[in-house]
């Protein structure tokens, strides 16, 4: 039984998508990032960067327990453990891995900044909003072009699609209109229609609170303020 330490965010839902597709037994361990659970010593022991998700697999390499943090690393680990959604053939394998790295390096960070400055920042900064909204649209257009001659970003459905898809669910918050991206919409509809995706997105969906307002000072400090920078 794999322990998945998570809160219902795009990065965590990458992992529930994989686990639901493969049927690997798992249980969720709540990491309430609004309450500061990510800073607790027991979580930092498995995720030193105080970010979730993280997993603990009691049946790791050589039958010994292992913990893995960073969602991209977790997807690679689980794909290698199961032999699913990451091809063994080198050319096809690197096709998937480069699009997984595209998600880790560009999709998550840039779309996350769009969320922050459009929705969470206490003051509206036009330069930041324009910069990250424009970068979000550029990233979506990269995927739109990629899907011109294939159903999924690396050909077959893979961990690269699982990594990108949860972030694209929030396109309105990123200033992106899917009406202008028919291939992305077709791709998203196909993934959303998978029963495993439906189950994956339902995991802990009732636990995510509304975004913190200006009055929620403690939660804002935990998520974005000085709490992030304390020495631990």
Q: What does the pLDDT profile of the chain (232 residues) look like in tens digits? A: 999 999 999 999 999 999 999 999 999 999 999 899 999 999 999 999 999 999 999 999 999 999 999 999 999 999 999 999 999 999 999 999 999 999 999 999 999 999 999 988 889 999 999 999 999 999 999 999 999 999 999 999 999 999 999 999 999 999 999 999 999 999 999 999 999 999 999 999 988 766 656 557 777 677 777 777 787 7
d(CA 85, CA 78): 9
Considering the entire predicted model, what is its pTM?
Answer: 0.94
pLDDT confidence of residue 226: 72
pLDDT confidence of residue 108: 97
pLDDT confidence of residue 214: 54
d(CA 22, CA 2): 13
pLDDT confidence of residue 139: 98
CB crowding 69-102: b at 16 or more within 10 Å, else e: bbbbebbbbbbebeebbbbeeeeeeebbbebbeb
How many Cβ atoms are within 10 Å of 205's Cβ, its own excluded? 10
pLDDT confidence of residue 210: 66
């Amino acid at each position: 039984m794999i322990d998945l330490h998570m809160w219902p965010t795009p990065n965590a839902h990458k992992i529930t998508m994989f686990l639901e597709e493969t049927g690997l037994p798992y249980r969720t361990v709540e990491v309430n990032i609004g309450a500061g659970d990510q800073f607790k010593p027991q979580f930092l022991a498995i995720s030193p960067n105080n970010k979730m998700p993280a997993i603990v697999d009691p049946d790791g390499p050589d039958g010994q327990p292992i913990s893995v943090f960073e969602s991209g690393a977790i997807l690679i680990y689980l794909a290698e453990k199961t032999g699913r959604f990451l091809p063994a053939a080198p050319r096809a394998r690197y096709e998937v891995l480069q699009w997984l790295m595209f998600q880790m390096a560009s999709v998550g960070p840039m779309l996350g900044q769009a969320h922050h400055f459009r929705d969470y920042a206490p003051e509206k900064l036009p330069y930041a909003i324009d910069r990250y909204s424009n970068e979000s649209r550029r990233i979506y257009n990269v995927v739109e072009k990629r899907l011109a001659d294939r159903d999924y970003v690396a050909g077959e459905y893979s961990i690269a699609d699982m990594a990108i898809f949860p972030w694209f669910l929030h396109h309105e918050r990123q200033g992106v209109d899917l009406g202008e991206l028919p291939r992305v919409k077709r791709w998203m509809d196909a993934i959303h229609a998978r029963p495993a995706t439906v189950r994956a997105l339902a995991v802990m969906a009732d636990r995510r609170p509304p975004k913190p307002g200006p009055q929620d000072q403690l939660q804002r400090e935990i998520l974005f303020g000085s709490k992030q920078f304390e020495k631990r």
